[in-house]
């Protein structure tokens, strides 16, 4: 720790644990698939365990859906399209409002379950994820009966059945990003949650039943990569929406091309934080910390590269080192925890591999000296400094709490370096000069630019990538169009 221990005012505070009770959640020992408005057994009869990454304890068994189950779910979704699309739009809207309200009512339960199954700190799942889920359904509920005003000159129609595959980093929030606009636009859905985080989606299925959503409008098939592949390749879907890695996204785009299926992709990123010498340093430090350590760095739009102007490099890194030493890493259910558990053993191995590569390439590095729990999957916040642009840790998405720092002298050099990856999802700009913010924002090849802030999300704000970070937008008015037949070729 670099804090000056001789100055009593600099003593880091000790925190007593403040653990969120899990009593609010009633977890079944086993979950089936959700098809046509009811829980059903998988065709294969096989189940897999979902575990708590903070303890490695088994939480529940979840059905392993295969090709047969996907087919059954797609048929159910197809059978529901006519009734759902022909429902008066105001009624469709009211179903979504109901769902939003039920999510709010059960928000604590959902937050705890999200943290148990995925490892994210309870203060994030409670204050960010679940709130945004309800907000997303509320936002799109209001669009459902106003589509004729969303796009001038169009008379848009639903596509039919949407296949949706979501990742493990924001399990319920990614469900909301996919399901809310799809249902608002009159489509029916087959959703495949991530293998390591299926539980909140299955509780969400119960919420839709409580809301009275007609059978078949939303189907959920749990399983691993093969289950998702079977969904993407099914010839009964009209559209596939995928959020996940760029490698898998490319496969899905290829399969969609072969089947002539519409596709939208929200893929990886290697976002750059650019800090100019006139930036408000303390705020920039908080932004950089949030940008890479929020959700253990499991964020596609994470600011995983820091470009700091050469003249303030030393002071900025000093403060960064101090701030990192104060991050509390550990039990996701402790309300004090800043950085929770890495989502899975496989992801921890991926982070360890890339960090080892970063060290092998000779990059300088430092790490928080925080104590890590003995059980579970944890990784200490890590910073590489003076990283070469060609280094793997400057080019590849790590998807963990690992920051790669580089420097620049001029704004033009910062643009060049920031844009120097195949990705294009997010960028952060820190400067007090307004004209420079706008000049930089124009030149970022990325779908989201946060200026003097970072990692802000809102249902009204379109989100999505340039280049190999994918295409299509989720959120806002723009997020409706990928689920509509516009009639324009």
Partner 1 sequence: MSRLAVNKTYKLYVNGAFPRSESGRVVSVSDPKGNVIARVAHASRKDLRDAVKAAIGAQASWAARTGYNRGQILYRIAEVLEDRAETFVGALKTLGHSQRSATNETQAAIDRLVWYAGWCDKFSQFSGNVNPVSGPFFNISAPEPTGVVGLLAPGVHPLLGMVSRLAPALVPGNTTVAVTPTDHATVAIDFAEVVHASDVPAGVINILTGDHEELAPWLARHAGVNAIDLSGADRELRRVAGELASATVMRVIPGPPAEDKVDWLAAAHQSPYIIEKFTETKTVWHPKGQ
Residues that bind partner 1 (CB under 8 A): 135, 151-154, 246, 249-251, 253-254, 256-258, 260, 265, 267, 422, 437, 441, 444, 446-453, 456, 458, 460-464, 466-471, 473, 476-478, 486-489
Pick between residue 8 and residue 487 the one whose CB is nearest to partner 1: 487
Q: How far apart are CA 173 and CA 234, in angstroms?
A: 25
Q: How far apart are CA 445 and CA 253, in angstroms?
A: 21
Burial status of residue 444 (CB atoms within 10 A of its CB: 0-12, 13-18, 19 or more): buried
The DSSP result for 211-226, as a single string, is: TTPPTTSEEE---SHH
Q: Which two tokens stand for residue 329?
A: 């890493």
Pick between residue 392 and residue 443 the one whose CB is nearest to partner 1: 443
| CB of residue 481 to partner 1, shortest distance in Å | 8
Q: How far apart are CA 453 and CA 275, in angstroms?
A: 11
Is the Cβ–Cβ distance between 340 and 296 less than 8 Å? yes
Burial status of residue 58 (CB atoms within 10 A of its CB: 0-12, 13-18, 19 or more): exposed
| CB of residue 16 to partner 1, shortest distance in Å | 32
| CB of residue 225 to partner 1, shortest distance in Å | 17
| 136 to 181, 205, 206, 210, 306: CA distances (angstroms) | 9, 16, 18, 19, 30
| CB of residue 441 to partner 1, shortest distance in Å | 5
Q: How far apart are CA 214 and CA 98, in angstroms?
A: 13
CA 451 from chain centre, in angstroms, equals 20
DSSP E strands: which ranges in 310-363? Answer: none
User: Coil, strand, or helix at residue 469?
Assistant: helix
Tell me whether residue 361 is one of the annotated catalytic residues: no
Pick between residue 82 and residue 433 the one whose CB is nearest to partner 1: 433
Q: Identify the active-site residue in 114, 124, 195, 266.
A: 266
Is the Cβ–Cβ distance between 337 and 328 less than 8 Å? yes
Q: Which of 100, 125, 128 is nearest to 111 (CA)?
A: 125
| CB of residue 126 to partner 1, shortest distance in Å | 17
Pick between residue 32 and residue 470 the one whose CB is nearest to partner 1: 470
| CB of residue 227 to partner 1, shortest distance in Å | 21
Pick between residue 365 and residue 471 the one whose CB is nearest to partner 1: 471
In DSSP terms, which residues pair with 158 in a beta bridge? 484
Beta-carbon contacts of residue 257 (< 8 Å; ≥ 6 apart): none
Q: Identify the active-site residue in 114, 124, 300, 396.
A: 300
| CB of residue 257 to partner 1, shortest distance in Å | 3
Pick between residue 401 and residue 482 the one whose CB is nearest to partner 1: 482
Tell me whether residue 105 is one of the annotated catalytic residues: no
Pick between residue 330 and residue 447 the one whose CB is nearest to partner 1: 447
CA-CA-CA-CA torsion sign (358, 363, 369, 370): negative
Residue 285 CB neighbour total at 10 angstroms: 19
| CB of residue 191 to partner 1, shortest distance in Å | 23
Q: Which two tokens stand for residue 181?
A: 């606009």
- DSSP letter assigned to residue 371: P
Pick between residue 257 and residue 346 the one whose CB is nearest to partner 1: 257
Catalytic site positions? 266, 300
């Amino acid at each position: 720790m670099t804090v000056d221990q001789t100055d009593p005012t600099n003593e880091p505070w000790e925190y007593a644990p403040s653990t969120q009770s899990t009593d609010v959640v009633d977890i079944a020992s086993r979950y089936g698939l959700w098809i046509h408005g009811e829980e059903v057994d998988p065709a294969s009869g096989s189940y897999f365990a979902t575990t708590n990454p903070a303890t490695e304890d088994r939480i529940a068994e979840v059905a392993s859906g295969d090709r047969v189950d996907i087919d059954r779910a797609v048929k159910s979704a197809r059978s529901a399209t006519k009734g759902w699309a022909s429902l008066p739009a105001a009624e469709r809207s009211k179903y979504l409002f109901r769902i939003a309200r039920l999510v709010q009512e059960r928000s604590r339960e959902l937050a705890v379950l999200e943290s148990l199954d995925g490892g994210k700190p309870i203060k994030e799942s409670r204050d960010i994820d679940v709130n945004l889920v309800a907000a997303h359904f509320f936002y799109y509920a209001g669009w459902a009966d106003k589509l004729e005003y969303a796009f001038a000159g169009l008379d848009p129609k639903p596509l039919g059945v949407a296949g949706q595959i979501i990742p493990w980093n924001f399990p319920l929030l990614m469900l909301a990003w996919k399901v809310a606009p799809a249902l608002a636009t009159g489509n029916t859905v087959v959703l495949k949650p991530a293998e390591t985080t299926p539980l909140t989606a299955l509780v969400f299925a119960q919420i839709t039943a409580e809301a009275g959503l007609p059978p078949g409008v939303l189907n959920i098939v749990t399983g691993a990569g093969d289950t998702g592949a079977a969904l993407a390749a099914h010839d009964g879907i009209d559209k596939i929406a995928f959020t996940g890695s760029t490698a898998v996204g490319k496969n899905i785009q290829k399969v969609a091309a072969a089947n002539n299926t519409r596709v939208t992709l929200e893929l990886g990123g290697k976002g750059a934080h650019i800090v100019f010498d006139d930036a408000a340093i303390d705020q920039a430090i908080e932004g950089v910390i949030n940008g890479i350590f929020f959700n253990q760095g499991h964020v596609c739009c994470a600011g995983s590269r820091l470009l700091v102007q050469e003249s303030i490099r030393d002071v900025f890194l000093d403060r960064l080192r101090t701030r990192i030493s104060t991050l509390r890493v550990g039990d996701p259910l402790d309300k004090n925890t800043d950085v929770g558990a890495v989502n899975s053993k496989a992801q921890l191995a991926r982070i360890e591999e890339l960090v080892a590569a970063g060290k092998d390439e000779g990059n300088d590095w430092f790490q928080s000296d925080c104590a890590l729990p003995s059980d579970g999957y944890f990784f200490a916040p890590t910073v590489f400094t003076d990283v070469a642009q060609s280094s793997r840790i400057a080019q590849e998405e790590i998807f963990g709490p690992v920051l790669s720092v580089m420097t620049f002298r001029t704004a033009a050099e910062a643009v060049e370096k920031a844009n120097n990856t195949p990705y294009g999802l997010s960028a952060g700009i820190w400067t007090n000069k307004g004209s420079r913010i706008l000049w930089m924002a124009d030149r970022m090849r990325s779908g989201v630019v946060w200026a003097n802030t970072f990692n802000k999300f809102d249902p009204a704000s379109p989100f999505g990538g340039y280049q190999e970070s994918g295409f299509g937008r989720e959120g806002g008015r723009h997020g409706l169009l990928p689920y509509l037949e516009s009639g324009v070729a």
